[in-house]
Amino acid sequence: MMDDDEVIAVADPHVAEEARCSLKRCLQQVQQQHPLVHCLTNEVVTNVTANALLACGASPLMVVDRDECRALAALANGMLINIGTFSASRADAMRQAIEVRHASNLPWVLDPVAVGALAPRTEWVLSVVARCPPSIVRGNASEVIALAGGKGGRGTDSTVQPCHALPAARQLLAQGVKAVAISGETDLIVTADGVLAVQHGHALLTRITGAGCMLGALMAAVAGLKDVDAGEAALVATLWFTLAAERAAVSAQGPGALMAGLLDALYALAAESTILSSLRVGRVFAAEASSMIPQRRVCDPRPPIAMTIAGTDPTGGAGLQADLSTFRALKVFGASAITAVVAQNTLGVNDVVPLAPAMIKAQIEAVFEDLDVDALKIGMLGQADIVMAVAECLLEQGDGRPPFDIVLDPVMVSTSGHALLMADAECLLWERLVPLASLITPNLAEAEALLGRDIPPTPEGLESAALELHDRGARQVLVKGGHMEGRLALDVFVNEQGDVHRLSLPRVNTPNTHGTGCVLSSAITALRAQGHDWLEAITLARRFLQEALQAGQSERFTLGHGPCLIHLPRLLKP
């Protein structure tokens, strides 16, 4: 067994891009080829496994009769053997099917559920693997260790981290297995070419039955495609499934909703023509082989990191406090730098004390020195010298442009009418920060201030303003129409190419709207840190805000407009 510190994952953009291309190609091939997948699987999850395969575009057959298994094993494109509900009769049918696949050199996936914990299944599966090695083994760390002859876990639960199973995985490769997929908080894909780490998914997957079973079936489907090897199939299926889980978790209220949402997300990903531009995939090395490479531990992987530069809110409903709450809700580590101490509540702003620019720079530099920031949000700045200080810090982080996404929320005026950005700072905001920003997120009033004109509170007015801001130099623009009247809450997004997207959701009738702009922009930042593309990050962030508004819709405990982030959607609670 290896210690945690003996295994490291190294971020590799080339590996991530190759993974993205593989995922896109295999998604298309599954839709075109509709691989036939024979599933000899856990009786508890037969229905959900079949539904997951159908959602992805594959064709499942759940045949368990011994004679039919032999015939089908020769015809199917892929096969899953899942020993979750093990019995003597089922073991016989599995053995018949495995022998046919092995004799014909056809791919099959083994999910060794609870091997090592129960003697009969352990003895059976060890004998089968010794004679007929599977193409892919998919299991948790304890199951992989037990499959290589070590000590198993507690039932279906692993008692060790995925990195501890790497020696066992390499032993299985030596026995003829082509790829080993070790599931955990960080998934590891082990092949003769090395080890890849995948850092996607959601903790709520541990609260449903059949997540691993669905993943194993999806691996069998991808392995059954033409010209796809076992390692690529394991990686693609893991990415497909874990990305779908992340998407489903954003709007789910708990395990039940996650299950339904997971099927929808698998289906949606299968139909999409574009795949996330940033995937969290890296190579894994032994520490002694890579002492010169920036290192990240696999068993305690660095989470996505987002940073906010903003003013405070002592009530916690807006500003820096709301940003950090949002980061945590979306499972992103949050760092911060305070620009101003603001005495405010839900009734209004009483006083603002800006910090010295030198102190603001010192905070930002301290964060950049120690943390690898993935995405940054800029909120309230207040005055010109602070705008200059922040811009200088950012320019020092890259060759003309910082190496991370920047969401600029141009906080200018509080809801109560208090000026939060001085007039002389507005020009500097345009000159120094807008060119550095990946996205600006003004509301209707802020867009009017930036453009120096009135904007009609209509969809056409928002679109015209977003396009004009884009034409004036903003790379991407999200003009928020939350303060407009109407049944729908409309925002307009213009991307870097100038494409216009009108985004609408049912308006939530609630007085608890304090901090909505802060929460939305920080949610976009968090989702970008996780690797979502811009349109997806904005769409999911808007849904997150809507969920938050709905969750606290009836609460009344402040004298003014209450905070929007009173109750987190259940799945997002720490």
Over the stretch 382-439, which tens digit does the pLDDT of each residue have?
Answer: 899 999 999 999 998 876 678 899 999 998 866 555 667 877 788 888 889 999 999 9
Quickly state the pLDDT bin for 39 (edges 50, 70, 90): very high
Q: How many CB atoms lie within 10 A of CB 294?
A: 9
Above 60 in pLDDT, residue 6?
A: no
Closest CA to 40 of 75, 77, 91: 91
Identity of residue 328: R
Using the 3D structure, point to which of 268, 296, 324 is the last residue of a domain. Answer: 296
Quickly state the pLDDT bin for 523 (edges 50, 70, 90): very high
Q: Clarify whether residues 135 and 99 are in a common domain.
A: yes
Using the 3D structure, point to which of 242, 274, 296 is the last residue of a domain. Answer: 296
Look at residue 573 and tell me if it is in a domain.
Answer: no
Q: Clarify whether residues 315 and 390 are in a common domain.
A: yes
Look at residue 88 and tell me if it is in a domain.
Answer: yes
Contacts for 549-557: CB closer than 8 Å, 24+ residues apart:
549/508, 549/510, 549/512, 549/513, 549/516, 550/508, 550/510, 552/510, 552/512, 553/508, 553/509, 553/510, 553/512, 554/510, 555/512, 556/511
The two three-digit tokens of residue 385, written as one number: 């010298």
Q: Clarify whether residues 153 and 202 are in a common domain.
A: yes
**CA–CA dist 571, 481 (Å, integer):** 28
Q: What is the average per-residue pLDDT within 364-368?
A: 95
Q: Clarify whether residues 180 and 316 are in a common domain.
A: no
Q: Clarify whether residues 112 and 244 are in a common domain.
A: yes
Residues listed for the chain: 574
Q: Clarify whether residues 404 and 269 are in a common domain.
A: no
Instruction: Say what the pTM is.
Output: 0.56
Is residue 514 within 8 Å of residue 560, measured between CB atoms? yes
Number of domains in the chain: 2
Look at residue 540 and tell me if it is in a domain.
Answer: yes
User: How confident is the model over 230-239, as pLDDT tens digits?
Assistant: 999 999 999 9
Q: Is 183 annotated as a binding residue?
A: yes
Q: Is 504 annotated as a binding residue?
A: no
Look at residue 66 and tell me if it is in a domain.
Answer: yes
Look at residue 275 and tell me if it is in a domain.
Answer: yes
Alpha-carbon Rg for the chain, nearest whole angstrom, is 26
Q: Clarify whether residues 286 and 318 are in a common domain.
A: no
Look at residue 392 and tell me if it is in a domain.
Answer: yes
Pick the residue with more confidence: 530 or 358? 358
Look at residue 574 and tell me if it is in a domain.
Answer: no
**CA–CA dist 459, 225 (Å, integer):** 45
Show which residues are catalytic: 480, 513, 515-518
Q: Clarify whether residues 24 and 101 are in a common domain.
A: yes
Q: Clarify whether residues 191 and 229 are in a common domain.
A: yes
What is the extent of the structural domain holding 12?
A: 4-296
Q: Clarify whether residues 290 and 313 are in a common domain.
A: no
Q: Clarify whether residues 238 and 162 are in a common domain.
A: yes
Closest CA to 29 of 231, 281, 232, 316: 232
Amino acid 273: pLDDT: 55
Write the CATH number for 562. Answer: 3.40.1190.20
Least confidently predicted of 243-252, 253-262, 336-345, 411-420:
411-420
Closest CA to 220 of 44, 20, 17, 62: 62
- Give the H or E element holding residue 88: helix 88-103
Q: Clarify whether residues 314 and 396 are in a common domain.
A: yes
User: How confident is the model over 460-479, as pLDDT tens digits?
Assistant: 999 999 999 999 999 999 99
Q: Is 62 annotated as a binding residue?
A: yes
